[in-house]
Structure 1
Amino acid sequence: MELSDLSPAESRKRKRSITTLTVFMVLIVVAFIISVNTGHIRLTPIELIKTLFGGGTDKQELILFEFRLPRIIISVLVGASLAVSGCVMQGLSRNALADPGILGINAGAGLAVMLYVAFFPTETVGSVMLLPILAWLGAGFVAALIYVLSLKKGEGLSPTRLLLTGIAVAAGISAATIVLTIRFTPEQYQFVATWMAGSIWGSNWKFVGSLLPFVIILLPFVCYKARVLNVLSLGDQMTIGLGASVEKERLVLLAAAVGLAGSSVSVSGGIGFVGLIAPHLVRRLIGPQHQFLLPGSALAGALLVLVADTIGRWIIQPSEIPAGIVVAVIGAPYFLYLLARSKA
């Protein structure tokens, strides 16, 4: 549809949405420049550009390409994936509080990853490439369990029951994780503690390569399904009346959301609230249409995790605070605010 074919109100909304997305992209570029310069050694904008194009010193290339750039890329990919996953779950469940962390999806993925790390090495390329797949399987199992337990006879999916079931399952998995840590060596326990706090632990090019295929395939697919998600958000009866296959489309989109969340958890640990905060922020700015809400959530989530990781690396140098803790400082109060406003 051409812009001239839209009504004045729709045209203004579309222009506002495009402007909002542009602002998010500019902010991500600014955050990228700041993040590259966060550390003991600073790179001026001129040095950064020269190094990117192969004109820097060996030390500058080592800092940029081996230490900082992989971590920044992973932060962006993880933030975008978690935000889109949360946006899809909110649309499917029609529950404003749905989030892969709150619903236990991240916990299921994390348990699978920790079981693998506890018994197998993670230094080889083959083992690293397996992590997102194992995380997806763990997250998928938990998602299926929560979905089945949330169904009510004759009523379909209950949003309130979905939230409570997810919280209960997440608590059970957390308890199982604590029991599992008893068998860990001190080194393994240190890794688990860091992972559970939401640290970007997989910060090299091997982990970028393991995560990138999931993002490249699933993010465009979910955005392609934006119109279907708009219809599913109207309710099952309305969806059936419009000729859409409710269960088939719901399961396909849920699998994509679980894949995005699970693969992200495999390299970033238990970062929560991204899938809650980013979609809500973007929905307030540009409205509920998923054609703009999904890419907007991806950009907002990428910005949130990148900024959180940068703050965590900067605030107590030379040590660092995991990005998950920084996000939780913002996300926990916001979750309580949404819970207080919820009518469910």
Structure 2
Amino acid sequence: MNQKKLKRTGMIISITAILLLIAFIISVATGFASMSPLRLVNTLLGQGTPKEELILFTFRLPRILVTILAGVGLAISGAILQSITRNPLADPGILGINAGAGLAVVFFVMIFGSGAGTYIYILPLFALCGGMITAIIIYLLSFKKGEGIDPGRMLLVGVGLSTAISGAILTLASKIAREDYDFFANWMAGRIWGDDWVFVLALLPWLLLLLPLVYRKSNVLNTMSLNENLSIGLGVKVEKERYILLLIAVALAASAVSVSGGIAFVGLMAPHIARSLVGPRHQLYLPVAAMLGAILLLIADTIGRVLLDPSGIPAGVIVSIIGAPYFMYLMAKK
């Protein structure tokens, strides 16, 4: 890579990081009780009033961190899926992986209830199982011997399976208690419901474990996104790597939506925008995609909270308003 391009990439990464910081400050400062940037800094340094500390550390900061972590997980999951399937429209929400995770969340709520307390650490595992089973079914139905995965077939299978699972979810959800149904209706709409530190602790280990592993496999993703035969020629065990990366993508998406709600399109838009900014090399575009995913979801959640305070509009609805036209644009273009 030449010096000019490397400098440009470094500048884009820096600008993206600054935009994430700005989005964080705006999100913390806005809401039912506003907080100026100066008061925010003072409160973070332990010099705020009891009311400011309650607002920041009990209500806003955990929710914002969950939103950022979920945005990162969904963006990297989408980037992996787009690379291993060579399908520019791949996204854990569109392909039905989020719906599979949602079905597992329904079973979790039916068994433990929506106020599960310490059981919340088990919720990502439930979501992972549901998302993984869905991903395996999509993979098997999309794969043809001698041809591999057909991107168009995979998209159709994913959308169809997502619709079927959503119907099953609604049927099961109608049989649970009213308070649990209200919780799950919000989850389906994509409302950020993980607003306590326990949810941050439930999600953070997954990202700390999986993100370094994804980055280590950047060269594998580079070759797999170009040509399968090229990957084989370079000594990559394509099938083995595809299964590993598929498992990582599902784990990232399932753990994210288990505490953030059923949110689609973040995994579609963030990788596309990142590739257009810094190119297709995963070593460069994965960090940008992760920050863009966090920015998109954080802005959507902030807009939703401000537009209809205090109940708010679910972040998933705001993202869909932006993501659906973007998806149709990509469909027409590709």
Band of TM-score, shorter chain = over 0.9
2:297 to 305, 308, 313: 305
Task: Write out aligned runs for 1:116-265 (5 A).
Answer: 116-265=108-257
291 and 142 in structure 1: CA distance in 2 versus 1, 3 angstrom threshold:
same
3-state SS of 2:122 partner: helix
Code of the residue aligned with 1:46 in structure 2: it is L
* Runs of 4+ more than 6 Å apart: none
Task: Write out aligned runs for 1:268-279 (5 A).
Answer: 268-279=260-271
Displacement, 1:122? 4.5
Code of the residue aligned with 1:168 in structure 2: it is G
Aligned equivalent of 1:332: 324
CA distance in 2, matches of 1:98, 1:78: 18
Code of the residue aligned with 1:186 in structure 2: it is R
Question: Quick check: 1:121–1:127 contact (8 Å CA) kept in 2?
Answer: no
Question: Quick check: 2:113–2:180 contact (8 Å CA) kept in 1?
Answer: no
1:11 to 3, 20, 31: 3
Cα deviation 1:5-34 (Å, max 9, x = unaligned): x5xxx3222222111111111011111111
CA distance in 2, matches of 1:316, 1:187: 22
Identity %: 52
Question: Quick check: 1:109–1:137 contact (8 Å CA) kept in 2?
Answer: yes
3-state SS of 1:304 partner: helix
TM-score (ref. length: structure 1): 0.95
Query: Does residue 67 of the first structure (1) align with residue 59 of the second (2)?
Result: yes
Aligned equivalent of 2:275: 283
Aligned equivalent of 2:68: 76
Code of the residue aligned with 2:192 in structure 1: it is I
Code of the residue aligned with 1:330 in structure 2: it is I
CA distance in 1, matches of 2:58, 2:224: 43
Aligned equivalent of 1:3: none
Displacement, 1:317? 2.0
Cα deviation 1:125-150 (Å, max 9, x = unaligned): 43010011111111111111111111
Question: Quick check: 2:70–2:256 contact (8 Å CA) kept in 1?
Answer: yes
Displacement, 1:40? 2.1
CA distance in 2, matches of 1:132, 1:16: 38
Displacement, 1:58? 1.2
Cα deviation 1:178-230 (Å, max 9, x = unaligned): 11122122222211211111000011001100000001111121111111100
CA distance in 2, matches of 1:269, 1:230: 31
Aligned equivalent of 1:90: 82
3-state SS of 1:233 partner: helix
Unmatched segments (≥5 aa) in structure 1: 1-5
CA distance in 1, matches of 2:231, 2:307: 49
Unmatched segments (≥5 aa) in structure 2: none
CA distance in 2, matches of 1:29, 1:225: 28
Query: Does residue 267 of the first structure (1) align with residue 259 of the second (2)?
Result: yes
CA distance in 2, matches of 1:283, 1:258: 21
TM-score (ref. length: structure 2): 0.97
Displacement, 1:167? 0.9
Cα deviation 1:285-323 (Å, max 9, x = unaligned): 111111111111100000000000000000122330000
Question: Quick check: 1:122–1:128 contact (8 Å CA) kept in 2?
Answer: no
Code of the residue aligned with 1:93 in structure 2: it is T
Cα deviation 1:220-262 (Å, max 9, x = unaligned): 2111111110011122211111111001111111111110000
CA distance in 1, matches of 2:166, 2:47: 48
3-state SS of 1:248 partner: helix
Cα deviation 1:145-192 (Å, max 9, x = unaligned): 111111112211111111111111111101101111221222222112
